[in-house]
Copies of this chain bind each other. A is one copy, B any other.
Amino acid sequence: MISVTEALQIILNHAPRASVVTLPLELAVGRILREPVSADRDFPPFDRVTMDGIAFTWQPTPRRLRVEGRQLAGAPQGQLQDRANGCLEVMTGTVLPQNADTVVRYEDVTLQEEAESVWADVQVWPERAGQNVHRQGSDRSQHDVLLEPGVRLSPAEIAVAATVGKAEVQVSHMPRVALIATGDELVEVTQAPAPHQIRQSNSHALQAALHQEGIGAERYHLRDDYDALKTQLRALLEAHDLLILSGGVSKGTSDFVPDVLADLGVQRHFHRLAQRPGQPIWFGTTASGKVVFALPGNPVSTFFCFYRYVRPWLYRHLGVDFPTEYAQLTVEVSFKPALTYLLPVRVNSSPNGVLLAVPLAGQGSGDLANLSQCDGFLELPPDQDTFPAGASFPFFRFRRL
């Protein structure tokens, strides 16, 4: 049985880079950028006024200034006529007028009408030129790369792309994913289960988790029948890039999934990992680059395996680093088997900036209802029995901030 670390290495080595698709900017938030985005002109593109007030040519001696006029937002650059004693009213975001080099905000100016002119008395005379002016190109220069390929487009990057005129962006293509629940004991959500039956929940959870990654995936339910499984999985493999199965991978007599996948030419890279929960996880790929995760059917196992293995695979495939988080145990935890232990926890950010992880008492991998108290899990290494309070471990979050 291989370790969690080895398994991850294998998984990430079988995550070829996604192809590229061009999307309208409106649909691109959350996607992974696949082209550099550069400044089409300087940032800011002109000497930009940063306060509403008056603009003039600075001189060391304070003086009264005559208001020559007003430059509105959206108007071309104005021109100050009298560099010695004139000023122009300007607004935040406008182009600094020609011949002006300094702005004083209205709060520091008294305007008075006298003899058909308006005069500005500056209460707080600036110590030098350049006040309240954001100089052209001081943030970025034309042709500077503003966004590198591989960044996930947050609302901030959307704003940057908009401002340089990228109405469309090249991003990673999302894989076509099929979610496949196996098990004759499963019925639909809308059905009333007989005493020995249970409703499907894993494929719903996976569908929701993929939805949060921006992927729409279809759900399928296949029966525990070798031939039917083979026919249906062959068709699903053809139509999708990624298959995520749940159930049918442990040692039960109806656990046909590994054999059927082998039969269909899916190369197994591993089956069973030294971890709890989720030991029977199976991973394979086809010669044509299709990827198959067959996850154990216990709800908690399916869930944790998705976040520990499938999501990192997805990130690598899309071309973005998986962000590592760590959290501190609040109480000692003991776990004796020589397995990696995925410990369900609730986390909270303490006022000193530490992410605290409170272990959840649970009933093991079948305790689905427990997940609703849970924010994610800590990964506790296999070479320790005791994990003291205050120690930190990698934390895998499934509840979005």
Contact = CB atoms under 8 A, between A and B. Distances in A.
Contacts of A189: 25, 162, 165-167
Contact of A224 (B26, B73, B146, B399): B73
Interface stretch (A3-11, A170-178, A321-329): A321-329
Interface string A190-209: 11111111111110111111
A191 B167 CA distance: 10
Q: How many copies does the complex hold?
A: 2
Nearest to A39: B369
Given A74-B224, A139-B363, A184-B72, A146 B95 contact: no
A306 to B, nearest CB: 8
A140 interface: yes
Interface in A311-366: 323-328, 349-357, 363-366
A134 B105 CA distance: 72
A392 B397 CA distance: 22
Contacts of A269: none
Consensus secondary structure, chain A interface: loop
Interface string A267-305: 000000000000000000000000000000111000100
A77 interface: yes
Nearest to A37: B372
Given A195-B95, A251-B106, A366 B401 contact: no
Contacts of A26: 204, 207
A252 interface: yes
A201 B162 contact: yes
B185 A93 contact: yes
A94 B194 CA distance: 13
A400 B397 CA distance: 11
27 contacts: A30-B211, A50-B365, A72-B254, A73-B224, A74-B185, A76-B196, A77-B196, A89-B253, A95-B196, A105-B251, A155-B206, A155-B212, A156-B398, A158-B205, A159-B303, A162-B189, A162-B201, A163-B368, A165-B191, A165-B199, A324-B349, A326-B352, A326-B353, A349-B355, A353-B354, A355-B355, A397-B401
Interface of A: 25-26, 29-30, 39, 43-46, 48, 50, 52, 70, 72-77, 89, 91-95, 105-107, 134, 138-140, 146-147, 151-167, 183-186, 189-202, 204-209, 211-212, 224, 247, 250-255, 297-299, 303, 323-328, 349-357, 363-372, 374, 392, 395, 397-401
Report, nearest first, the 3 A-B pairs whose CB atoms are least far apart: A74-B184, A91-B252, A328-B353
Given A147-B372, A353-B392, 6 more contacts: A75-B184, A93-B247, A154-B399, A157-B372, A167-B190, A327-B353
